């Protein structure tokens, strides 16, 4: 058996544009995640421009987490995290070590990642607060136009 692969010119393609030059947009996709962290991942994805990257529901010894980033610049991610922290603080009763949000910038990477960590038993409450914050954020954007 032999296989022959040939380059084919397609008339429906604009060859003047090289790969990677196209405008990128964020689309929400379905992905398999741990069952208990799924509401938290979904709530983060309610915010426009947020891209969730990795998650784990944790266990008795490990915190649950969701890694995410935002389209745009590092400054825009920092601004989003700052606003989200203020929104969560306003929505959740202040109790010790319920959750943490951290920016992690690894040497050699283009921009930081944000991680939201919480105790596994706090996932549902945090997810509800995030979802409420996303709805409020969307309303603010509507009224600011």
pLDDT tens for each residue of 72-81: 999 999 999 9
Place of tokens 């008339």: 11
pLDDT of 50 strictly over 50: yes
Question: Percent of the chain beyond pLDDT 70?
Answer: 81
pLDDT of 7 strictly over 50: no
How does residue 114 score in pLDDT terms, banded at 50, 70 and 90? very high
Structural domain spans, the chain: 38-144
- Burial track 19-40 (b if 16+ CB lie within 10 A, e otherwise): eeeeeeeeeeeeeebeebbbbb
Bigger pLDDT: 121 vs 8: 121
- What's the average model confidence in pLDDT over 107-118? 92
- What's the average model confidence in pLDDT over 37-65? 94
The CATH class of 38-144 is alpha beta
- Burial track 120-139 (b if 16+ CB lie within 10 A, e otherwise): bebbeebbebbbebbeebee
Q: pTM here?
A: 0.79
Place of tokens 């989200």: 84
The mean pLDDT of the chain is 84
- For residue 69, the cross-strand partners are 51
Give 20's contacts (C-beta < 8 A, 6+ positions apart).
none
Q: Count how many residues are written for the chain.
A: 145
Give 35's contacts (C-beta < 8 A, 6+ positions apart).
57
CB 67 within 8 Å of CB 54: yes
């Amino acid at each position: 058996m032999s296989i022959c692969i040939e380059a084919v010119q397609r008339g429906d393609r604009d060859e003047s544009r090289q790969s990677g030059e196209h405008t990128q947009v964020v689309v929400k996709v379905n992905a398999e995640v741990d069952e208990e962290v799924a509401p938290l991942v979904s709530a983060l994805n309610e915010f426009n421009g947020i891209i969730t990257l990795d998650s784990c529901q944790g266990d008795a010894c490990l915190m649950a987490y969701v890694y995410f980033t935002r389209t745009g610049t590092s400054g825009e991610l920092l601004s989003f995290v700052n606003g989200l922290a203020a929104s969560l603080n306003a929505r959740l009763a202040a109790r010790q070590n319920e959750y943490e949000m951290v920016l992690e910038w690894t040497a050699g990477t283009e921009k930081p990642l944000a991680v939201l960590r919480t105790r596994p038993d706090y996932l549902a409450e945090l997810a509800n607060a995030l979802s409420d914050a996303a709805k409020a954020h969307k309303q603010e954007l509507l009224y600011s136009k």
